[in-house]
Structures are given as structure tokens and as C-alpha cells.
Structure 1
Amino acid sequence: MSGFIGIVCGLKSEANAVRASLKAAGVDVSKVMIGVSGANADRAEEIAQGFLDDGAKAIVSAGLCGGLDPALKSGELVLGERVVSAKGDIVIADKALAAAADKFSPRHVAIFGSDEIVDCTEKKEALFQRYAAETVDMESHGAARAAARAGVPFIAIRVIADGAARALPKAALRAVTPAGGVNVANVLLDCIKQPQQFEEIFALGRDSGAATQTLRREFGGYLGAFLAALGL
């Protein structure tokens, strides 16, 4: 397969939302391939490289993210105009794709690509100050590295799930499986051990659910614009 856009998501739920959004927007799904990496930048890079080997014309990182900038609210869709990491990587979003996205007026942000879960507000504040990044995820920097190495357009479309003021409960830290699913048993076991986490998990679930709905509602329009910009 050639002449398509490769989309990298961290979670299966994100990929499902992307598929539903593409269908609702009437996007030609024969020009799209979707991969799920789990919360793992190396795996995201492998998936993106696989797409590139198969002839992808662009790589898109899509899904949820954490907020580092207090001005960003849960459920807000953002465009990653650059991706930075602790290794010093800096990947700039493709100008043509960013211009195509701007008809939807997304907020442009810098994404910090983290190799570990950013679970507390202190860590979020430190990343915001040190890297001037407004958001954080665990996949975009891997996908961006593969695209940059190949000289292929890259862009990230993400939705804020946990805002800068929200810490992640311990029960959430073992929730995501390597395949990008959710280990409900782990979450319940941790909450049973520390019942006070139930309220925090429910609140995080509400925010993540709302963010996923934003992705489902809006992403298809962006992808359609990207396909048009690439002449696909």
C-alpha cells in the first residue's frame, strides 16, 4: 500500500475514536493506516517506520495528552507545532499540514515527549518551565523521530485529558497495557487497596471520556484536510 497517511495512537480507545471520526467525516479510509503503540515511544517509532516503509506520505500522532500549561482545559484539541524531548530532539510540524489544520483554528502548542508517566502536578510544572511545552504525551516523539529521519511530513493532533492541575492517581499508573488496552483488574485492585482513589479515578475517567469524544467529533475533519493538502 502506498500514498496514505499513517496514524499512530497510544491507546486502542483513541484508535477507535479516530476510526469513528474518519467514518463520520466521509474520509476515504483506504488512504489511512492506524497503529496502536501503547504508552511507548520506541513502539510508536517502530509503527511509524513501518508505515514509512510501506509508502506513507505523512505521519500523524493522534490521541489524548496531558496538559502542562494551566491555561489549557480538559477536552481542548491542540495542534503540536513542535515536539521536544529530554534527549534534545526537536521536530517541527509540517508547515503545509499545519496550514491545512488552521482552518479549524486549533491552538498551536509544543508537546513534550516523555518516556515515563508524568503523574503529579509538580512534574508537570517543571516540564512546563524547563521545556516551554504546553502538553505532554508518551508517543508523539517516537513517531516524530521516524518521520524526521525519513524527511516525511509530521504533525500531532491531540486532546487534553488531564489538565495541569490534575495529578494521576496511583491506580492509573498500571492501567495501560503494552498493547494499548486498559487493564481494569489492575485499576480495581489498586482502588480496593486504597479506596480513596475511586473518586480520583472516576474524575480522570470523566475527563478522558470527554477528551475522547472531542477526538471522535473533530479529528476526521483534520485528516480530510491533511489528505487534500498532500494531494491524496
Structure 2
Amino acid sequence: MDTTPPASPPAMTAPIGVVTGLTSEVRALSGVPGLAARCLGPGPDKAEAAARALLADGARALVSAGICGGLDPALVPGSIVLPARVINRHNPEQTWMVDAVWHAAVMAAAPTDLPPFQTGALMGSDRAVGSVEGKHALAARTGAVAVDMESHAVARVAEAAGVPFLVLRTVADTANDVLPPWIAGVLNRDGSPNAAMAVRRMLAGPWRVPALVRLARRSATAERALGRAAPVVFGADRTG
């Protein structure tokens, strides 16, 4: 039997730089040592700016962390996605592999009281994928299990800088959930919630209330899962 211990992630002498798109994701990661989180808002442009700022501040590795949308119908709210690679939705031949040693170490350290980490490909998209039909089409065309709007941008920055890169995402909306276009209006540009706008949207269209409540609950489930999974990723021995 092979008794070789699992490899440790790459040695890092500065905190891991973590890019999120929502301020609530930063809160979910609070209290985890060894990381510096930066949120400038959702989307690839802000994610790229946040990643570059973290590197300028001394980060020696980058992680894209937060919630995501499921493309695989088997994924439920709170499913944990630790993809081995990221695919660019707008150029599917462009892919980025995460750091293999780091990824393997996290998988080896995953506790049994968490759901199994899903390692299928993550799709990076410049815009939200809101329709069920669109989600199913992307899954069929690319084989990706989930989608977000930041990981491909962080991957580009990490590749250019030559630093280790990893993704930790947890599912909020599933492959069979619709993300209505108006939902984007309940967020400020910096990724913080806009409660006043949410109330206005509900007053203007009371039929929107069930969808908003359902999505809020599923996002909360995903963020709790993110908080539980984060110590496995960021707490692993990084002195190897």
C-alpha cells in the first residue's frame, strides 16, 4: 500500500489573495486565517482588478471564492465545487488548470462531514446565465458543472503572474432555477446588497416576492457551505 503522504500546496510567504464578487461572500470567509479577501463587485473586470490589487499587496497565490450557479442537475444548493479547470464561456478552447498539487492536498484533507467536493469544470462567463435552457445548453456543450462570473478573470491574472490558482465555489441557483433579469438590480456595484431597491422591486411587482425569497434562501445556504469549506482550502499546510 502506498504510504506516501499527500503533497502539500505550494509554499507561500504571504496571505492567499481571495477574490469574491459579493460582500456577503467576504463575510462568509471572515475568521479564516491565512487569507486576504478583496471584493470590488461582481463580474470579470472587477475580479481582475481585485486580483491585481491582491498581488500588488503581496499575495503569492490567488483563489476565486464565492457562490455559483449549477449547470449539472445533480448539484443542489450548498454543493461544493472545487474544479480542476476553468473554461472560458466566450472561448471554450481557452481553459485554465488550477494548481494540481494544491488541489490534490485539499481533496485529501476534505472532511467526511462535508458533502463530497465536485471537481468538474467550472464555466467562467462575462454575464449571468439566467435561463434554465441556457444552463442546460452550456452543460451539454462544454461539460461544465457550474458557472460564475469571476473565476476566468482571476485565472487569467494568476496565469500571467505565474502564481498558484484555485477555485472554491458553492452552488446557490441550480440548473433548474431561473435567475430573472431584474435580480441584478438588488445589488450595488460593489457587490453589497441594495435593500431599498429590493423593496422597490417587490412593491412594483409582488409576484417577484417568492422568487426573491427562494433565491435569498439558496444564496444563504451556499454561503454557509462556503464558510464550512473554506478552512479546508485555506487551512491546509502550505509550508511544503
Length-normalised TM-score, structure 1: 0.89
For the pair 1:124 / 2:127, whether they are aligned, the reply is: no
Counterpart in the other structure of 1:42: 45
**When the two structures are aligned, how many residues end up with a matched partner?**
220
- Work out whether residues 44 and 142 of structure 1, in 8 Å CA contact, stay in contact via their aligned partners in 2: yes
Q: Where does residue 94 of structure 1 map in the other structure?
A: 99
Q: Which whole-Å deviations, capped at 9, do the CAs of 1:50-96 have from their partners, x for residues lacking one?
A: 22233322101111000011011111111021111113431101011
Preserved CA contact (<8 Å) 1:64 1:158? yes
Q: Gaps (5+ residues) in structure 1?
A: none
Where in structure 2 are the equivalents of 1:5-20 lying within 5 Å? 5-20=16-31
Q: Is the 8 A contact 1:38 1:176 kept in 2?
A: no
1:77 aligns with 2:80: yes
- What is the correspondence of 1:170-181 to structure 2 with a 5 Å cutoff? 170-181=181-192
Q: How far has the Cα of 1:217 moved from its partner?
A: 2.0
Partner secondary structure for residue 6 of structure 1: strand
State the distance in 1 between where 2:78 and 2:55 align.
31
Selected match of 1:197 from 208, 211, 214: 208
Aligned counterparts of 2:154 and 2:146: Cα–Cα separation in 1: 16
Please say if residues 8 and 61 of structure 1, whose CA atoms lie closer than 8 Å, have aligned partners that are also in contact.
yes
**Post-superposition CA distance 1:130-162 (Å, at most 9, x none):** 221110111111111100111111010010000
Deviations 1:159-187 (A, max 9, x none): 00000000013441212221110112222
Letter of the 1:209 counterpart: A
Percent sequence identity is 37
What is the one-letter code of the residue matched to 1:64?
I
The 4+ residue runs of structure 1 with deviation greater than 4 A are none
Q: Is the 8 A contact 1:170 1:190 kept in 2?
A: no
Aligned alpha-carbon RMSD (Å) = 1.6
Q: Pick from 91, 103, 122 the counterpart of residue 111 of structure 1.
A: 122
Question: Kindly tell me: are residues 7 and 46 of structure 1, through their superposed partners in 2, closer, same or farther at Cα, counting changes over 3 Å?
Answer: same
Structure 1 position 144 matched with structure 2 position 155:
yes
Asked if the contact 2:35–2:234 (Cα under 8 Å) also holds between the matched residues in 1, the reply is no
CA–CA distance in structure 2, aligned partners of residues 138 and 40 of structure 1: 5
Distance in 1 between the 2:181 and 2:208 partners?
A: 8
Tell me which of 147, 155, 174 is aligned to 2:166. 155
Q: Distance in 2 between matches of 1:189 and 1:131?
A: 38
Consecutive unaligned residues of structure 2, counting only runs of 5 or more, are 1-12, 111-115
Letter in 2 for 1:187: A
Provide TM-score, normalisation by structure 2.
Answer: 0.86
Distance (whole Å) between structure 1 residues aligned to residue 75 and residue 133 of structure 2: 16
For the residues of structure 2 that align with 1:37 and 1:80, how far apart are their CA atoms?
A: 23
What amino acid sits opposite 1:5 in the alignment?
A: I
Cα shift at 1:107: 1.5
Structure 2 Cα separation of the partners of residues 191 and 18 of structure 1: 30
